[in-house]
Structure 1
Amino acid sequence: MESKDKTLLAQKATNAYNPKEVESQYYDFWEKAGYFELDGNKAIQKDGKNFCIMLPPPNVTGSLHIGHALNHTLIDIITRFKRMDGYKTLWQPGLDHAGIATQNVVEKQLLEQGIKKEDLGREAFVQKVWEWKEKSGGMILKQMRKLGSSQAWSRTRFTMDDGLQYAVKDTFVKLYNEGLIFQGEYLVNWCTHDGALSDIEVEYKENNGKLYYLRYFLENSKDYIVVATTRPETYFGDSAVMVNPEDTRFKHLIGKNVVLPLLKRKIPIIADMHVDMEFGTGAVKVTPAHDVNDYEVGKRHNLEQIVIFDKYGILNTNAGEFAGQERLKARKNIVEKLESLGFVEKIEDYKNQVGHCYRCGNVVEPYISKQWFLKKEVAQGAIEKINANISNFFPPQWKNNYNSWMRELRDWCISRQLWWGHQIPVFYCESCGGQFASVEIPKVCKFCQSENIRQDPDVLDTWFSSALWPFSTLGYANGEFGKGVLWNVKDMQEFYPNSLLITGFDILFFWVARMLMMGEHLLGELPYPDIYLHALVRDEFGNKMSKSKGNVVNPLEKIEEYSADVLRFTLAILCAQGRDVKLSHKQMEVSKNFTNKLYNATNFLLLNAERFPNLNDIGVPKTALGQYFAELLSKIVTEVREHLESYRFNDGANTLYRFLWNEFCDWGIELSKANKDSIIELGAVFKESLLLLHPYMPFISDYLWHKLDGSTLEQSGSIMVRPYPNFSYTNVENFSTFGRIVDSIVSLRRAKATIDLANQKIAKAYVNVEIPEAMRALFISYVCKLAKVESLEIVSKKIPNCIVDITEKLESYLPITDIDLSPIIARLEKQAQKAQKEISKLEGMLKNEKFVANAPKEVLETHQNALVEQKQKLEKIAQELKILHP
């Protein structure tokens, strides 16, 4: 290692804390030392204790955003905790091939060179994607290191690597042979750019559209029925007009025919309870090939399915003279023609929800297409086991959301019209017409042995391979284990089911539900006993982050500005179960100040000793103050462990913050000034508390621990592979006494401040408090030194002619017989007069009807708030004056 690095790792007390240098050097050391791998903590591993958590695989095209930062922080906290607690840990890293997104990236790059993917052909194009992936893909994996993610990098997987490709094919073939995968003509969500989409890949946005009222003339009549539609271009695919059978306005028309405008094609008027009599005119057009609800109606009434455009959205010959026009662009032309011929009754503005492709933003159309589907029956086992509480959601209300979606589950369209992805392992024989699925690419037809076979050109939905992630990564045909081996048995025994899933609630249905169904069906067990779904990271005002609003937070910029520890701690302390994280500059500053507080406390300790032993090495502290902080630490250890075990990450962070800032850095250091004999023991307690803090703030905790230890990382290793504190100590009498010591110091300081003697030593004070006889000398010693009192007497009754301060546990008294209070009383009375004058002025303005009627709302609020503040100030002054006139 370079001498510069050795100097950094030596942890000299005189060095200023530089998070940029520390975080980069420490992370490099951790990774090279192999701490993140399965046996990184081998020295403290306990038999049979295994912990496995999977990284929700980010897209290979992605970069670290604030949602990733929250997710990875929470995973890293629990992983570091488990690793230190003696578990053999696997935090499985990896990437998703992101079929649509990745193909789009490479296609755009080629188009910039004037090359279409069709010019290259499928094989050459896929090779180009692989080249891009090796060169530019996976940037996010490098960025994760900046955050301190302790993933087992040697086991990084990619959903298109050899092992996972084998897993996907093997799974498909198994389900195909079980009859759970089928192919059929079906109404799917169709993007003219990206092809078929599942229901949850469609994003619905409010649209300021139009409602078109079209006249459909009855056959051989001048009478007509008016139907309302938001998509007039689809009328070319109408198979019927539909009314509600209970609608008396149209009962006489049921069974008759209307003639479609321009086309002169006859369609029947049918009755179905599906019709909402309040919508439009109460009569609706039925387009089975281009509307989800109409598709079901069409099946009930045996209506013709008429497809009016191709996969690119170009109208076909069923659209008559408009054939060849793009569906959305044709709308204007079609409406103009219908208007000119008197077929348009009226057009109204209309707000509705329109589906868009979640990737490219195109308007999605229901479209009849031949696709591959996975039957919804595959999910039945997962549904039953979730409701038998074999897996638990955190927060628990997500179970209801899961059940709500699963009740409406439809067959899953798993085929996509792409070139990049897992090509569907189904083969067609051109000789005998046979169809079969195969893991390996066959040379001949399994039925007739003909070599004239071809593979299905579609690829599988990206989420199909991601649904296998909890087990496909566990050595499934992975490198050293070789193809043909389904999985590494040892991996599966140790890590399946995984221990926990942490992910965002927004992919509950995209990913979580699908992993549950696939894991349960294929392996007979749900992949997770616990599922933690965190909320969104929003801005400080609760707004969703978006580029258009300009409120997007780049985590890498925040790490550069503050440090990884500050960002991690901020996200964790704000992440309450079931609540969105409102990320603010103010909270980042609080966390930054916390790191400074820890650093300064370390430097204070090092002013009194060169190095500090571990708490386990010194045993039970001998000084009373050491014992008090040992018991405080004992209580905090229990609390933090409970919070982490129940995934209350924010409660754990708050507990650590309260203890380290308020108890140790404030009172621990303050009390140590009254008894230097305890400093070594306090340093040992602080070292142990840094172990507690490590999962949240890994860099500064390791750095400060080594400063206090007087050793380098090379000499003593990282604290990330030291045992997590499990410390227990109790001394009730001592603990109670120090609680009252602190209370008495605060009370006396407050009483002294009342008479402007806050920083001066006073001759005499009294405290009415219960202190065991054996602890009285200790109590008096600490209180006298830190409250600056020459003589302190413990009493059991009220002392007259005193300034009195009362707390929950005690009363303190400062004699005032020898103190000239007149200047203090005069000052307070002057302040009271000034406050009263301001109150009168404000009340006069707010009682002035003219002022109130004309003043802006914000001015009135300012005056009202000022009035409240002045009244509170006057009340406080009155209380202080009352104390001075006992």
Structure 2
Amino acid sequence: MLDKKYNPTETEPRIRKFWEENKIYEFNLDASNDIYSIDTPPPTISGKLHIGHIFSYTQAEMIARYKRMRGYNVFYPFGFDNNGLPTERLVENELNIKAKDLPRSEFNDRCLEIIGKYENEFKELWSSLGFSCDWTRSYKTISPLSQRISQKSFIDLYKKGKVYLEESPVLYCTNCQTSIAQAELESKDVKSTFNHIKFFVDNEILEIATTRPELLNSCQAIFINPKDKKNNHFIGKKAVVPLYNFEVPIMSDENVDMDKGSGMVMCCTFGDTTDLEWYKKYNFSYKKTINSKGIIDDNVEYISGLTIKQARKKIISLLEENGLLIKSISINHNVSVHERCSTEVEILPSKQWYIDILSSQEKLLSLADEINWYPSHMKTRYITWVKNLKWNWCISRQRYFGVPFPVWYCADCGRVIIADEKELPINPIESPPSHPCTCGSTHLIPETAVLDTWATSSVSPLINGHWKEKDDITDRIIPMGMRTQAHEIIRTWAFYTIAKTYFHLGRIPWKDIMICGFVLARKGEKISKSKKNSKTEPTQLIMTHSADSIRYWTASAKLGTDTTFSIDDLKISKRFITKLWNASKFSLMHLENYNHQKSDYILPQDQWIMDKLNSTLQTASNYLDNYEIGLARNTIDNFFWNDYCDNYLELVKDRLYKPEIHGHDNRKSAQFTIYTTLLGLLKAYSIFTPFITEEIYKNYYQEYEKEISIHLLKWEIKKSINKKSLELGTYIKQILSEARKYKTEHSLSMKHELTKIIITLPTPYQQTLTKVLPDLQAATHSKSIIINTSETFTIQII
């Protein structure tokens, strides 16, 4: 039987070892039951994990356990995202080195060494939390398999005409010194100045307001809205650019905001995306001001060699000295920044690789309707993002540690040479192609850029399916059953995966997408590694409070909503763990001499609690089918605390202790009911708190059930609901409640003997309730209970 107190510190490592040794969670490809496959976000190897990761990943893990117990053959691999810019930064910081200062192969070796350490730490953390994933199918985004599939993805899209190379303006981070995609932008309010500057038209002043006066050197034109009656007489003339004294045309365009600044605007290469749109629309030439390091180019007078902010300050000073600055107004200015480093993004011309997504925009919108979104309103975020796409996906990055492009360029004719698939994975810097250029030249230049990390992460379903490998199971698992992820990467991971899977396979990547919320450090601020606002280190939390306590807390929130975390929250978890152990200990104590033979004789109150359990599991199952873990747990909690512990166990306690008074058959009815109901409860809670439920199961039930682990059992839910039985249970609970209330109000002990309880209830329930009277009398300590017939239910206590 169970020990007096539950000891998670001793139990959880032992149970975990038992699961590992018995391969409880390994995926069986040959099993006949339907596959439920899960596409889990590979955590980025960029430092320590925090409670926010635990929150979302554990919610998804609970779904894996639930689906397994509903009879599915669960395919649940786990990955590690270790080829991105955050990994480079981690390695540089830990080793106090710079990637650019080392040979690429040497830096890559350093990266592999560091990420190996963190992968082991991450795996240990997830395992200690009781994750039921199949570690034999884990993957790394920098592994040979992932590199091969990523490179095959590139080649496949290149052959389909979806990938192209182009020299054009691109979003660029001068801090990280790499091109980026639209999805990597964030908006940020910064303090700036709106500078009203004098341009000249035929000796007449033309007032232009700008936040980027450092770009005067690259001014291409002045634009005026044709509806602007005050200024449209300037259209068609030429304006002299201050300080630099060259002329630019004054043109009309309806996109000019007449209410902003002076109502007229200068177009430079490039201040923002509007400049870029006009650059393309009017076929302007490019004039360079800023280089890839964020420094003003050598050919720019007055400010060459300065940083952007230094140059801005100096130009404003020069304008003021020369009487060319009308006024300068301090403002809070919304700008686009790189999500990784918060550096303001520039638009610079560069030769980059792109995936054409804009031509498939309508199809990518319609694919959203083929996927079930949980919560449903999250689909709106996807739709809004796709509708507002302005750029094709730039997939090349000027980094060091990543998946190389399988590409070379012919130095003689300029052709692109693509690697053969049999050569993959390949690093073109270290290995030549297996064939010369079609022009016959062997003078080939390797591509030095690497693939955007999302270009690999977006093929996670293909990596899971070993796409185009010898053991390819893509068609068996895709569309996958479910993708789980956070809402802020709908625009990246969700969108890119939908796009790439459609481009490759012509279908959606998964049937359902489960969008989790954040854990907030304080109101409105999510916990993140970069902000260092997580004061609770997960490993220490588990050691101090137990994995089950952490897991129970993670199951408290409504799907898609953000929550806050405090150590005090775990007090509720610990109270539950203690209650489950004690209730199980009390229940199992009364099964010591139970013969485990089902009796045809079941009292109505016993039937009620089993019917109530079935109803509870139906409701919880409906919630879990919609990924509402918090609502499911709350439903089961209500049954456990209120129905089972507070009412049923109290109701049958006397019958269990005193078979000589209540009858041995009646006691057997209660024993069968407790055996069945407690097992059902343990199975229900096993998806939330797998360790304690396994421990209770192994201590008693394993001897009598067919499986060695509770996690191999199935949720057994009857489709029909006995409404009359549930109604009877409502009456029973009300009687018990009123008796307790009466004693409390009269300052009486709960064991105080009541003289009489008079109950009136509808006729159909009178005969059934009569069978419950012995238990009711014992539980309420009442000398007599009288039942009368009435259309309404009433209770009178004397």
TM-score normalised to structure 1 length: 0.82
The alignment status of 1:106 with 2:99, answered yes or no, reads: no
- Amino acid across the alignment from 1:49: D
- Once the two structures are TM-superposed, the CA of residue 509 in structure 1 deviates from its matched residue by 1.0
Alpha-carbon deviation of 1:549? 9.4
Q: Structure 1 residues 621 and 513, CA, compared in 2 at 3 Å: closer, same or farther?
A: farther
Change in CA separation of 1:674 and 1:773 when aligned onto 2, cut-off 3 Å: same
1:791 matched residue in structure 2: 784
Instruction: Confirm or deny that 1:743 pairs with 2:734.
Output: yes
Residue in structure 2 matching 1:91, options 76, 81, 102: 76
What SS does the aligned partner of 1:656 have? helix
Q: Which of 234, 258, 262 is residue 277 of structure 1 equivalent to? A: 258
Q: Deviations over 1:829-867 (max 9, x none)?
A: xxxxxxxxxxxxxxxxxxxxxxxxxxxxxxxxxxxxxxx
Sort the Cα spacing of 1:15 and 1:359 in 2 relative to 1 into closer, same or farther, 3 A. Answer: same
C-alpha distance in 2 between matches for 1:611 and 1:293: 81
Q: Which residue of 2 aligns with 1:700?
A: 692
1:286 aligns with 2:267: yes
Q: Which residue of 2 aligns with 1:255?
A: 236
What 5-or-longer segments of structure 2 have no aligned partner? 424-431, 657-666
* Aligned-partner SS, 1:600: helix
Contact conserved, 2:141 with 2:457, CA < 8 A, in 1?
A: yes
Give the match for residue 65 of structure 1: 50
RMSD over aligned Cα, in angstroms?
A: 2.7
Contact 1:467/1:511 (<8 A) preserved: yes
Helix, strand or coil for the counterpart of 2:269? coil
The 10-residue stretch of structure 1 (59-68 or 89-98) with the greater mean CA deviation from structure 2: 59-68
For each residue in 1:177-198, what CA deviation from the matched residue of structure 2 results, as whole angstroms up to 9, or x when unmatched?
2222122222222111221111
Q: How many residue pairs end up in the alignment? A: 771
Higher mean alpha-carbon deviation, 210-219 vs 454-463, is at 210-219
Q: Give 1 or 2: higher helix fraction.
A: 1
CA distance in 2 between partners of 1:541 and 1:779 (Å): 51
> Matched residue of 1:317: which SS?
coil
Distance 1:613 1:358 in 2: 64
Deviation at 1:279, TM superposition (A): 0.8
Q: Which amino acid in the other structure matches residue 779 of structure 1?
A: V
Superposed counterparts of 1:397-796, under 5 Å: 397-409=377-389, 410-439=391-420, 440=423, 441-476=432-467, 485-486=468-469, 488-489=471-472, 491-538=473-520, 544-545=526-527, 550=533, 553-574=536-557, 576-585=558-567, 587-610=569-592, 618=598, 622-676=602-656, 677=667, 678-709=670-701, 717-727=708-718, 736-757=727-748, 759=750, 760-770=752-762, 772=765, 774-796=767-789
Specify the SS of the correspondent of 2:76. strand
- Which has more radius of gyration? 1
Corresponding residue of 2:663: none
C-alpha distance in 2 between matches for 1:649 and 1:784? 39
| 1:526 positional shift | 0.5
State the 1:455 CA deviation.
1.3
Partner of 2:22: 33
1:298-447 to 2 correspondences below 5 Å = 298-377=279-358, 379-380=360-361, 382-383=363-364, 385-386=366-367, 389-409=369-389, 410-439=391-420, 440=423, 441-447=432-438
Local SS of the residue matching 2:513: strand
Counterpart residue number, 2:661: none
> Letter of the aligned partner of 2:731 in structure 1?
R
- 1:199-214 superposed matches below 5 A: 199-214=182-197
Most deviating of 195-204 and 433-442: 433-442
Aligned-partner residue type, residue 82 of structure 1 = K
Q: Is the 8 A contact 2:50 2:534 kept in 1?
A: no
What's the counterpart of residue 875 of structure 1?
none
Unaligned runs of 5+ in 1: 1-11, 477-484, 798-807, 816-886
Match of 2:427 in 1: none
Preserved contact between residue 668 and residue 682 of structure 1 (Cα < 8 Å)? no
Quick check: 165-174 or 626-635, which moved more? 626-635
On the 8 A contact 1:765/1:814 being kept in 2, the answer is yes
Letter in 1 for 2:692: I
Task: Check conservation: 1:691, 1:725, Cα contact below 8 A.
Answer: no
Counterpart Cα distance in 2 of 1:283 and 1:773: 86
* C-alpha contact 1:253 1:269 (8 A) present in aligned 2: yes
Deviations 1:318-363 (A, max 9, x none): 4213211122222222222221111211111111112222212322
1:731-754 residue CA offsets vs partner (Å, 9 max, x unmatched): 666554443233222223323444
Q: Are the aligned partners of 2:697 and 2:709 in contact in 1 as well (CA < 8 Å)? A: no
Cα distance, 1:511 vs structure 2: 0.6
Stretch of structure 1 that moved more, 780-789 or 494-503: 780-789
- How far residue 682 of structure 1 moved from its aligned partner, in angstroms, is 0.9
| CA distance in 1: counterparts of 2:245 and 2:724, whole angstroms | 98
Query: What is the distance in 2 between the residues matched to 1:132 and 1:638?
Result: 47
Aligned to 2:129: 147
Give the Cα–Cα distance (whole angstroms) in 1 for the partners of residues 71 and 745 of structure 2.
53
Where relative contact order (Cα < 8 A, 6+ residues apart) is larger, the structure is 2
Q: Which residue of 2 aligns with 1:801?
A: none
Give the counterpart of 1:218 among 187, 193, 201.
201
Shift of 1:71: 2.0
1:867 aligns with none
- Please report how far the alpha carbon of residue 380 of structure 1 lies from its aligned counterpart in structure 2 after TM superposition: 4.5
When residues 261 and 166 of structure 1 are mapped into structure 2, their CA distance, relative to the original with a 3 A threshold, is same
In 2: Cα distance, 1:538 partner to 1:127 partner: 36
Q: What is the one-letter code of the residue matched to 1:750?
A: K
Deviation at 1:132, TM superposition (A): 2.4
Contact 1:74 1:572 (8 Å CA) reproduced: yes
| Aligned 8 A contact 1:60 1:95 in 2 | yes
* Displacement of 1:596: 1.1
Deviations along 1:393-448, whole A, 9 cap, x unmatched? 11222222222221222311111111111122221111333222224351442313
Listed one character per residue, the Cα deviations across residues 504-534 of structure 1 (whole Å, up to 9, x for unaligned) are 1111111101111111121111111111212
Deviations 1:270-301 (A, max 9, x none): 22111111111112111133421011112222
Q: Deviations along 1:127-179, whole A, 9 cap, x unmatched?
A: 22223223444532221112221111011111121122111111211212222
Show the counterpart of 1:827. none
SS at the partner of 2:445?
strand
What secondary structure does 1:354 align onto?
strand
**Cα distance change on mapping 1:544 and 1:429 into 2, 3 Å:** closer
Indicate how the Cα distance of structure 1 residues 649 and 116 shifts in structure 2: closer, same or farther if over 3 A, else same.
closer
Partner AA of 2:768 in structure 1:
M
Instruction: Check conservation: 1:164, 1:473, Cα contact below 8 A.
Output: no
TM-score (structure 2 length as normaliser) = 0.91
Amino acid paired to 1:722 = L
- The correspondence for 1:160, drawn from 106, 128, 142, is 142
Q: C-alpha deviations, 1:78-108, integer Å up to 9, x for none?
A: 1111222222211111111242111222233
Distance in 1, Cα, partners of 2:325 & 2:726: 86
Paired residue for 1:21?
A: 10
Whole-Å separation in 2 of the counterparts to 1:613 and 1:566: 34
Q: Is the 8 A contact 1:631 1:729 kept in 2?
A: no
Whether the 8 Å CA contact 2:365–2:383 is kept in 1: the answer is no
Identity %: 27
Where 1:526 maps in the other structure, the secondary structure is coil
Give 3-state SS (helix, strand or coil) of 1:655's partner. Answer: helix
Structure 1 residue 552 displacement after superposition: 5.3
Name the residue aligned to 2:795.
812
Name the CA distance, whole Å, in 2 between partners of 1:86 and 1:170: 35
Q: Distance in 2 between matches of 1:501 and 1:313?
A: 39
On the 8 A contact 2:591/2:675 being kept in 1, the answer is no
